[in-house]
């Protein structure tokens, strides 16, 4: 399996960058190896974190349930269901968990039909570890975001951690949450608002995500808002009396242009993208209604709030210029950026590297630009969280030719090597849970770091306003 666990960095001519990297590598101590040729870095992000005595038990347990995990993984991948419609996946996962000894399953938790919660109670009060399983697919693209693998990694991880609890008579709880509708619909944010994670009193939240690029315990994502806009104008004969009309389409086109001009003044990680969904239907009638949807992304909630305001101003400009009325609606369930807890990441790295995984130094991982957005972001502002990226491969071991949300990635997400990689992640996530349950003082340190790195969270509800 080693061949797809190697994080490759392309060879580059000596430059300030390479010298900088070299300095980093050299300063990194005895664990670091810089290979020649197609250079890759073997780091020990786990430096200082001792390997758990439960490592072998975890690994063996996951291996022992490979057949069950494999059939669940395949079943979800080959039956893609959209957000909040994941009826088969919900049935499959809950009925499987109901068969597991010691697990108490609540279907449709919080009255969210395709959400669930499965609890394994240890021998008494102790740390409560949450694992999140995703299982929604994308319209027309199937499991092109590989959520089947996320479900598999969290399922395997939760079961393995519970097995260690059972055998070692450990205190605490493992909870597997079935979190539907990650794609645009914010299942976890809805569950957060419904108080499901709070009521369960979780201490940490664990999940993972497949990717076509390298492995990393650090997921860096943007905060995001999604908006719907409608312009209302007035119909008029486009030739006989256009001056009597108010052109809704022009209002929206002006706004779209204003956003395009604004892009030059955006930060490199800011994104504004969207589409016009309707703008009229008859060529000889001034358009009385136009509508579109846009998504806005920025580094964190403060920058997002500012950028969303700037985008709203662009839409207001279109309304002002044309006289059309604007209905600007921020959809519910915006996503906050994901913040990774360093200590959880280091624990993950210890297991992942022991299993043959190779990671770049955390200093490099942490400098990467954000990509995409996830509803796990909101949870990461409430509890210490990790969502490691894991690279997946095609059946023949090649890297998928394109990343998530593409047809090529959907194919890779159903491959055997991708499933095997999700088992490595399951073991590593289980390792994190067991570390939190067994290492004296670790949870306190994790919470201390969490409090120190906490940023103000700006709670903005969905809102609709006319201008
Ligand atoms: C299972 O969970 C439900 C709801 O959380 C609770 O009411 C019930 O007592 C639990 N059952 C057991 C056996 O723990
Ligand atoms: C749960 O949802 C159903 C259907 O959406 C609704 O009829 C019912 O009142 C809800 N129950 C609770 C307790 O909110
Ligand atoms: C966004 O932030 C910039 C820089 O801090 C500030 O000048 C500007 O007024 C803000 N814009 C809005 C619409 O809040
Ligand atoms: C404004 O748009 C929202 C979302 O598209 C819609 O639900 C609402 O009814 C609209 N309001 C008006 C006054 O048309
Ligand atoms: C989730 O994050 C978004 C974006 O920052 C924010 O608008 C929303 O209020 C948050 N929701 C919750 C329940 O935390
Ligand atoms: C690894 O060691 C370095 C130097 O002692 C330290 O600064 C860094 O925080 C450690 N990294 C982790 C992930 O523990």
Give Cα separations from 145 to 278, 333, 461 (angstroms).
28, 19, 27
Residue 46 pLDDT more than 80? no
CA 215 to chain centre: 14
Per-residue pLDDT band for 43 (boundaries 50, 70, 90) equals low
* Residue 346 in contact with ligand 6 by CB distance below 6 A: yes
Q: Which residue CA neighbors atom 1 of ligand 6 most closely?
A: 47
CA–centroid distance, 311 to ligand 4, in Å, is 18
Give 123-153 pLDDT, tens digit per residue.
999 999 999 999 999 999 999 999 999 999 9
CA–centroid distance, 214 to ligand 6, in Å, is 21
Give one DSSP letter per residue of 4-26, joined into a string: GS--B-----S-HHHHHHHHHHH
Give 179-235 pLDDT, tens digit per residue.
999 988 999 999 999 999 999 999 999 999 999 999 999 999 999 999 999 999 999
CA–centroid distance, 450 to ligand 4, in Å, is 39
C-alpha 167/C-alpha 161 separation (Å) is 10
In this structure, CATH architecture of domain 223-334: 2-Layer Sandwich (3.30)
SS3 assignment, position 37: coil
Q: Which residues lie below 8 Å from residue 129, measured CB to CB, with a gap of 6+?
A: 161, 172, 173, 174, 175, 202, 203, 204, 206, 432, 433, 436, 437
Confirm if 341 and 348 have CB atoms less than 8 A apart: no
Beta bridge partners of 145: none
C-alpha 326/C-alpha 315 separation (Å) is 8
Beta bridge partners of 25: none
CA–centroid distance, 306 to ligand 3, in Å, is 6
Confirm if 205 and 385 have CB atoms less than 8 A apart: yes
Q: Exposed, middle or buried, 443 (CB in 10 Å: 0-12/13-18/19+)?
A: buried
Proximal ligand: closest to the CA of 316: 3
Q: Which residue CA neighbors atom 5 of ligand 4 most closely?
A: 228
CA–centroid distance, 49 to ligand 6, in Å, is 9
Q: Count of alpha carbons within 13 Å of 379, Cβ hemisphere only?
A: 33
Q: What is the pLDDT of residue 368?
A: 87
C-alpha 64/C-alpha 59 separation (Å) is 9
In this structure, CATH architecture of domain 47-220+338-453: 3-Layer(aba) Sandwich (3.40)
Ligand 4 contacts (CB < 6 A) are 228, 230, 327, 329, 464
* Residue 334 in contact with ligand 5 by CB distance below 6 A: yes
Q: What is the pLDDT of residue 456?
A: 66
C-alpha 56/C-alpha 107 separation (Å) is 32
C-alpha 332/C-alpha 449 separation (Å) is 30
Q: What is the pLDDT of residue 38?
A: 35
Residue 76 pLDDT more than 90? yes
Q: Determine the atom of ligand 3 nearest the C-alpha atom of 313.
A: 13
Best residue for ligand 5 mutational test, from 334, 338, 339 (most atoms within 8 Å of Cβ): 334
Give 270-307 pLDDT, tens digit per residue.
999 999 999 999 999 999 999 999 999 999 999 999 99
Q: What is the pLDDT of residue 277?
A: 98
Q: What is the pLDDT of residue 26?
A: 38
Best residue for ligand 4 mutational test, from 327, 332, 462, 466 (most atoms within 8 Å of Cβ): 327
Confirm if 214 and 365 have CB atoms less than 8 A apart: no
SS3 assignment, position 293: strand
C-alpha 203/C-alpha 275 separation (Å) is 40
Ligand 3 contacts (CB < 6 A) are 306, 309-310
Q: What is the pLDDT of residue 367?
A: 87
Ordered by start, the domain boundaries in the chain are 47-220+338-453, 223-334
DSSP 216: B
Best residue for ligand 3 mutational test, from 259, 265, 267, 306 (most atoms within 8 Å of Cβ): 306
* Residue 350 in contact with ligand 6 by CB distance below 6 A: no
pLDDT > 70 in the chain, percent: 87
C-alpha 154/C-alpha 63 separation (Å) is 15
| Weakest-pLDDT range from 20-34, 221-235, 443-457 | 20-34
CA 380 to chain centre: 11
C-alpha 150/C-alpha 387 separation (Å) is 10
Give 299-358 pLDDT, tens digit per residue.
999 999 999 999 999 999 999 999 999 999 999 889 999 999 999 999 999 999 999 999
| Weakest-pLDDT range from 19-28, 62-71, 406-415 | 19-28
């Amino acid at each position: 399996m080693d061949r797809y666990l190697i994080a490759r960095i392309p060879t580059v001519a000596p430059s300030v960058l390479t010298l900088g990297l070299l300095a980093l590598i050299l300063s990194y101590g005895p664990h670091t190896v810089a290979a020649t040729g197609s250079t890759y870095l073997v780091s020990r992000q786990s430096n200082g974190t001792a390997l758990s005595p439960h490592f072998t038990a975890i690994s063996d347990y996951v291996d022992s349930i490979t057949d069950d995990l494999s059939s669940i993984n395949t079943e979800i991948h080959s039956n893609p269901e959209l957000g909040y419609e994941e009826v088969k996946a919900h049935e499959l996962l809950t009925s499987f968990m109901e068969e597991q000894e010691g697990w108490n399953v609540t279907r449709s938790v919080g009255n969210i039909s395709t959400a669930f919660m499965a609890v394994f109670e240890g021998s008494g009060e102790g740390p409560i570890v949450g694992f999140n399983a995703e299982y929604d697919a994308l319209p027309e693209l199937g499991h092109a975001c590989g959520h089947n693998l996320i479900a598999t990694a969290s399922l395997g991880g939760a079961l393995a951690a519970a097995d260690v609890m059972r055998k070692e008579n450990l205190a605490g709880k493992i909870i597997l949450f079935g979190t539907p509708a990650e794609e645009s619909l914010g299942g976890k944010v809805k569950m957060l608002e419904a108080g499901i994670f709070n009521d369960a009193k979780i201490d940490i939240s664990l999940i993972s995500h497949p990717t076509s690029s390298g492995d990393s315990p650090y997921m860096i994502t943007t905060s995001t808002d999604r908006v719907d806009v409608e312009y209302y104008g007035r119909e008029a004969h486009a030739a006989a009396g256009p001056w009597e009309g108010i052109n809704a389409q022009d209002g929206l086109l002006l706004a779209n242009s204003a956003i395009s001009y604004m892009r030059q003044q955006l930060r490199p990680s800011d994104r504004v993208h969207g589409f016009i969904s309707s703008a009229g239907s008859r060529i000889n009638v001034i358009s009385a209604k136009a509508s579109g949807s846009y998504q806005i992304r920025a580094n964190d909630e403060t920058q997002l709030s500012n950028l969303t305001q700037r985008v709203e101003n662009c839409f207001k400009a279109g309304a002002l210029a044309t006289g059309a009325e604007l209905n600007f609606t921020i959809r519910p369930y915006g996503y906050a950026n994901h913040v990774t807890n360093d200590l959880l990441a280091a624990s993950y790295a210890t297991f992942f590297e022991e299993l043959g995984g190779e990671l770049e130094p955390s200093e490099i991982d942490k400098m990467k630009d954000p990509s995409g957005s996830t509803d796990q972001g909101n949870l990461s502002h409430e509890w210490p969280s990790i969502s490691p990226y894991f690279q997946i491969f095609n059946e023949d071991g090649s890297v998928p030719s394109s990343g998530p949300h593409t047809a090529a990635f959907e194919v890779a997400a159903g491959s055997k090597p991708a499933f095997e990689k999700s088992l490595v992640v399951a073991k590593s996530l289980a390792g994190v849970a067991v570390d939190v349950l067994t290492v004296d003082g670790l949870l306190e340190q994790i919470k201390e770091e969490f409090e120190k790195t906490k940023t103000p969270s700006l709670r903005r509800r969905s809102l609709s306003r006319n201008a």
